[in-house]
Amino acid sequence: MKTSILLFSLALSLSAVGQTRYDKEQLQKEPLNRGVVALSDNDGHVYISWRTLPTDPAGLPFDIYRNGQRLNSKPLTTGGTFFIDEHPLDTDATYEVKGGGHDGSWTLKAQSPANYLSIPLDRPEGGTAPDGRRYDYSANDASIGDVDGDGQYEIFLKWDPRNSHDNAHPGYTGHVFFDCYRLTGERLWRIDLGQNIRAGAHYTQFLVYDFDGDGRAEIMMKTADGTIDGKGKVIGDPNKDWRCHDDDRRKGRILDGPEYLSVFDGLTGEALCTSDYVPGRGDVEAWGDGYGNRCDRFLATVAYLDGRRASAVFCRGYYTRTVLAAWDWDGRQLHQRWVFDTDDPQWTAYAGQGNHNLRTADFDGDGCDEITYGSMAVDHDGTGLYNTGFGHGDAMHIVVEPGTQRLFIWDCHENKRDGVDLRDARTGKVVFQNPSPIDVGRCMAADIDPTNPGMEVWSIADRHIYNTRGEIVRDHVEGRMSCNFGIWWDGDTLREMLDHETVLKYDWQANTVQPIVHFEGIRFNNGSKSNPCLQADILGDWREEVVARTHDSSELRIYVSPLPTPHRFVCLEADIPYRLSVAAENVAYNQPPEMGTTLQTPAGIR
């Protein structure tokens, strides 16, 4: 019964395979390779995992080789892109996956750890702030990008000083650093943002993507006087210190001086172009307070605003005035595409509607991306799309309707009134709403129950699970019903939950949540937010990897699921909304990446 229900749910989800909101012929996408990875499991066996690419035909045969010797007795044409070599590994071995003209390989060292890739880190030296307090560094948010065009992602890592601050609090912070590492552990460069960029989740948004379409990723972020690029070149005036030193309420904040937006080469870290950040802070009090809490709330995202090439959208403000500025990078210059500003009289009602995060996808089906910015949305041309007026919130998620592929937004609110709502992502029309007298700080959406076709939604407002019609699917769930991250991990088509270094599984038969794996020796980031450095489909099959730091930040670990899967899905990064949500996963309050389509194969269920 369980299997038949699960396959029915999956079949319904796959009924719209082939439908797309983007013009595949025009859209510039990353040319990914086979993404082969080989790791030892806890029993000493080796598991090999690789990508299904969008160009692969159904039933594409694969062959697996170990040091040149084929391991499979006949070509692998069905099942997941996952293979177990049960022979003990007593020496280094090179595993090859051949098939479809996109062959790949991975060399596994005999003494490699089980279930994860290890990337040694070069932790920056700590320092002493002007107030005399010492600080050190820990590895924080990360992103991915292919810096040399070989089809394999590199890791971009932000280093956060221990004295980083939320905008609500004054105080000095150490410098923010960015590194780029290959999966082999080679560090390519380091960027120092300098003393005029404050450290904290709301200050240092960074976007990694191939913006000019040359097959190599860039990194874009806000910079200031004293930023040092990956080649040692200083942006602006290296001697300027714009930090506040006298006013206790403003101490350590940067509320004066120039603000820049810079594009850096992904391979070298060299600053390629720097422009003025839009919008500038202007009059600090005009944003709603006099000490910089509201004027320095930044967000950012990547969007295909013309349906062809990726643009960067850097934003400022969401409690009061809200500004989104779209930029195009052509490999030589930054060009401003448009600016949406709630100081514009036609958009004043859109002020104060932003979240601590945002979502990007083609919500209205016109082939170009829109941006859901909390309770309001901005169209691809920089005009307002809709505004619910529900105000600010901490989290929101993309919900896909099976069969039709319509997109919805599940959003929670802080105002102790509007609770949570599910709305049409194109029009803002509310499908259902659960008002609440509490600050609903977290909500989550994922397909976790196969007895209900499509995705389920829930929040911290109650212990119920709802379907997309607002009906209670399960009430009074027992156990740790996390509203943090969702992850595809165990090999079935349902999504698991990821929270506090643990993967959790909802048991729909017992109506409870159980841990299925706890990652030892690592620590998630950002306090109670408890998110990994990154979660994404980085390599291997369609499932997601967990990127996290060790306790002392001496090592970055990339955990790969050791569990077999019978399903052969196209890699998740091929879904554009998923790829864009990976690019924006690090922004402010980190959110899990989410797809704009249901899981699909080139030709349905296999």
**Is the pLDDT score of 4 beyond 60?**
no
**Per-residue confidence (pLDDT) for residue 605, from 0 to 100:** 33
Alpha helices in 290-449 (DSSP H): none
pLDDT-based confidence at residue 21 (cuts at 50, 70, 90): low
- 48 in Cβ contact with 41 (< 8 Å): no
Q: What is the pTM of this model?
A: 0.94
Mean pLDDT for the stretch of residues 179-201: 97
Mean pLDDT for the stretch of residues 189-198: 98
Q: Over the stretch 594-603, which tens digit does the pLDDT of each residue have? A: 999 887 655 4
Task: Report the DSSP beta bridge partners of residue 361.
Answer: 370
Distance CA 310, CA 302 (A): 6
Mean pLDDT for the stretch of residues 515-534: 93
**Per-residue confidence (pLDDT) for residue 448, from 0 to 100:** 96
Mean pLDDT for the stretch of residues 381-388: 98
Q: Over the stretch 437-475, which tens digit does the pLDDT of each residue have? A: 999 999 999 999 999 999 999 999 998 999 999 999 999
pLDDT-based confidence at residue 224 (cuts at 50, 70, 90): very high
Please report, for residues 204, 276, 466, the alpha-carbon distance to residue 221 in angstroms, rounded to integers and kept in the order given. Answer: 7, 12, 38
pLDDT-based confidence at residue 11 (cuts at 50, 70, 90): very low
pLDDT-based confidence at residue 9 (cuts at 50, 70, 90): very low
* Nearest residue to 214 (alpha-carbon basis) of 337, 54, 330: 330
User: Between 247 and 605, whose confidence is greater?
Assistant: 247
Distance CA 535, CA 542 (A): 13
Mean pLDDT of the chain: 93
Q: How many CB atoms lie within 10 A of CB 209?
A: 25
Burial 369-404 (b: 16+ CB within 10 A, else e): bbbbbbbbbbbbebebbbbbebbbbbbbbbbbbbee
For the chain, the 3-state helix, strand and coil shares in percent, each to the nearest 5, are 5, 35, 60
Q: Over the stretch 116-154, which tens digit does the pLDDT of each residue have? A: 999 999 999 999 999 999 999 999 999 999 999 999 999
| Tokens linked to 183 | 């999966």
Q: Which of 238-242, 368-372, 400-404, 423-427 has the lowest mean pLDDT?
A: 400-404
Please report, for residues 141, 159, 538, the alpha-carbon distance to residue 265 in angstroms, rounded to integers and kept in the order given. Answer: 19, 19, 21
User: Between 594 and 6, whose confidence is greater?
Assistant: 594
User: If you search the block for the tokens 């794996």, which residue do you land on?
Assistant: 517
Q: Over the stretch 74-96, which tens digit does the pLDDT of each residue have? A: 999 999 999 999 888 889 999 99
DSSP letters spanning 337-366: EEEEETTSGGGGGGTT---SS-EEE--SSS
pLDDT-based confidence at residue 403 (cuts at 50, 70, 90): confident
